[in-house]
């Protein structure tokens, strides 16, 4: 889940580079699915704010190392600071909503709702990006929302608060993607990553300041939480590396393998398999997302649908 920095649009590479990009992308999806399962297990033992905070402590360390390696020693003296800050805030809200929802939401259903973010992005693109989706893309958006209704249908066992938080996460991540698209090619990826890590670290610490002092776990438990944060950060770096090597249109349809992984993990690890209607809704969302990715390959299609939803 969980909050990844979406990369700039890449130039298509050679066949060998594309193959490596696909392999890196699949490894990133595996890491993202693994972190989501890890987070689901951790919020049963620790407050969601603490799980998020430990995650962004680790991710901030990775961001600092990247800035030093790139010799980008003045990341804060950048144009478009307002967009960078707003982008980071959107991701922080996404991560906080997602992590809190995991306390009560089954992993598969939570992931499926989150995967509606590209559909939301297409729906918002005429107003926020000035791009007009095609009829095929609008049809995919409507189908995807119909699939989401199959998951969150009235009378289902899903908790209302958790469902609402996941809807907030999907909406904020869609806005995060829009802002990432606006900043693409204008601000270095290392700078975007640094803003994201530092702002998310500050914002996820706010609940601790507003409430009683957090009950920090012992070092073994804290080390485990930080290790999970490193896994999340490495997933983001793998994602960036994949998009430098393979075209976006090639990788985007593969995103929905993470939804399959979430179903398998929820069923066999947490013993919470989705019911038949929820599985049907997930299938509709996956088909709609793949349709958006395929439609975006054609000239004149709204390119906002191409961004990838992993956190």
At residue 131, the pLDDT reads 72
CA atoms of 52 and 207, how far apart (whole Å):
11
Nearest to 262 by CA among 254, 272, 251: 272
Count of other CB atoms within 10 angstroms of residue 164: 13
Mean pLDDT per segment of 10 residues, for the chain of length 311 residues? 45 63 89 93 90 92 85 69 89 90 89 80 74 79 82 74 89 83 78 86 77 76 95 88 75 78 88 86 84 62 50 58
Q: Are 87 and 79 in contact (CB under 8 A)?
A: no
At residue 16, the pLDDT reads 62
Q: Are 302 and 129 in contact (CB under 8 A)?
A: yes
At residue 73, the pLDDT reads 63
What would the 3-class secondary structure string for 234-250 be? HHHHHHHHHHHHCCHHH
Biggest CA-to-CA distance, the chain: 55
At residue 226, the pLDDT reads 95
pTM: 0.78
| Complete DSSP assignment for 14-82 | -HHHHHHHHHHHHHHHHHHHHHHHHHHHHTTTS-HHHHHHHHHHHHHHHHHHHHHHTT---TTS-S-HH
CA atoms of 123 and 101, how far apart (whole Å):
24
At residue 56, the pLDDT reads 93
At residue 144, the pLDDT reads 82
Backbone dihedral region of 271: left (phi > 0), alpha (psi from -120 to 50 degrees) or beta? left
At residue 30, the pLDDT reads 93
Nearest to 164 by CA among 96, 92, 101, 91: 101
Which residues does 173 contact at the CB level (< 8 Å), separation at least 6? 90, 91, 94, 114, 117, 309, 311
């Amino acid at each position: 889940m969980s909050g990844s920095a979406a990369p700039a649009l890449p130039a298509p590479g050679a066949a060998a580079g594309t193959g490596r990009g696909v392999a890196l992308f699949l490894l990133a999806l595996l890491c993202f699915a693994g972190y989501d399962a890890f987070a689901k297990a951790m919020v049963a033992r620790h407050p969601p704010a603490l799980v998020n905070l430990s995650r962004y402590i680790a991710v901030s360390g990775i961001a600092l190392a990247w800035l030093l390696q790139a010799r980008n020693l003045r990341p804060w003296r950048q144009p478009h600071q307002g967009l960078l800050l707003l982008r980071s805030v959107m991701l922080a809200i996404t991560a906080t909503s997602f992590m809190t929802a995991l306390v009560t939401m089954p992993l598969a259903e939570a992931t499926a709702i989150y995967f509606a973010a590209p559909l939301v992005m297409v729906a918002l693109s005429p107003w926020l990006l000035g791009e007009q989706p095609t009829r095929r893309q609008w049809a995919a958006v409507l189908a995807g929302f119909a699939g989401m209704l199959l998951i969150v249908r009235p009378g289902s066992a899903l908790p209302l608060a958790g469902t609402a938080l996941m809807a907030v996460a999907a909406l904020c991540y869609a806005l995060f993607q829009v802002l990432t698209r606006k900043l693409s090619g204008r601000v270095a990826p290392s700078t975007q990553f640094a803003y994201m890590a530092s702002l998310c670290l500050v914002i996820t610490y706010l609940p601790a300041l507003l409430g009683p002092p957090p009950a920090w776990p012992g070092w073994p438990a804290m080390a485990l939480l930080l290790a999970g944060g490193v896994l999340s950060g490495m997933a983001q770096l793998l994602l960036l590396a994949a998009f430098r090597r393979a075209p976006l249109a090639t990788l985007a349809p593969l995103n929905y393998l993470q939804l399959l992984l979430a179903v398998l993990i929820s069923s066999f690890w947490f013993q919470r398999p989705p019911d038949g209607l929820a599985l049907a809704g997930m299938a509709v969302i996956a088909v709609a997302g793949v349709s958006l990715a395929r439609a975006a390959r054609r000239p004149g299609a709204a390119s906002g649908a191409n961004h990838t939803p992993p956190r």
